[in-house]
Amino acid sequence: MKAEFQQNLGQIYNETLEAKKWVGCDIWDFFSSKKVDDYCVRPNSRNVIIILTDGYLNFSGHNFQEGDSYSYISEKDGAKGPLIDRRIGELKDKGLEILLLEMNPIKITHRDKMKETLENWFKSMGIEKVVISETEADMVATETIIKNFLDNKEQGI
């Protein structure tokens, strides 16, 4: 599995950089609508999700606010408050592990708040192992982070 993932990671990078078209995906809805349960949780398995994202959760159609919480983290404002959590504690006993790679804030002032907001959101759902990594200079560093995570060398929160 590790070799196949590393090969596919290289292909993802190459095709994405060549196309120069980053449409994104709706990470907030993926977790909030319970799609994560259908696609990523298997009983008696190690359930690892590796997310490649710049760290901004900003998908048209799902950008809204409830009280002081948001469904998005925007490029303009960063994380203005906590993310809306529709799954408080629901993923606690699912054995889910998250490795979020390539966080790349447009403004350096967004970095710490983005990381804290994402970590708190995952943790509030009951996910116990979360590692968030900023953009690395090359794919070799990213592959090392993935290898360490899969080999359980990265502890997370």
Residues 116-146 pLDDT 10s: 999 999 999 999 899 998 876 666 788 888 8
Domain residues of the chain, as ranges?
25-150
| Cβ pair 86, 103 in contact under 8 A | no
**Which residues pair with residue 129 across a beta bridge?**
97
If you count them, how many residues does the chain have?
Answer: 157
What's the CA dihedral at 39, 44, 49, 50 to 10 degrees?
-130
- Total-model pTM: 0.85
Residues 38-55 pLDDT 10s: 999 999 899 999 998 888
Query: For residue 45, which amino acid is it?
Result: S
If you compute the radius of gyration of the chain from its CA atoms, what whole number of angstroms results?
A: 15
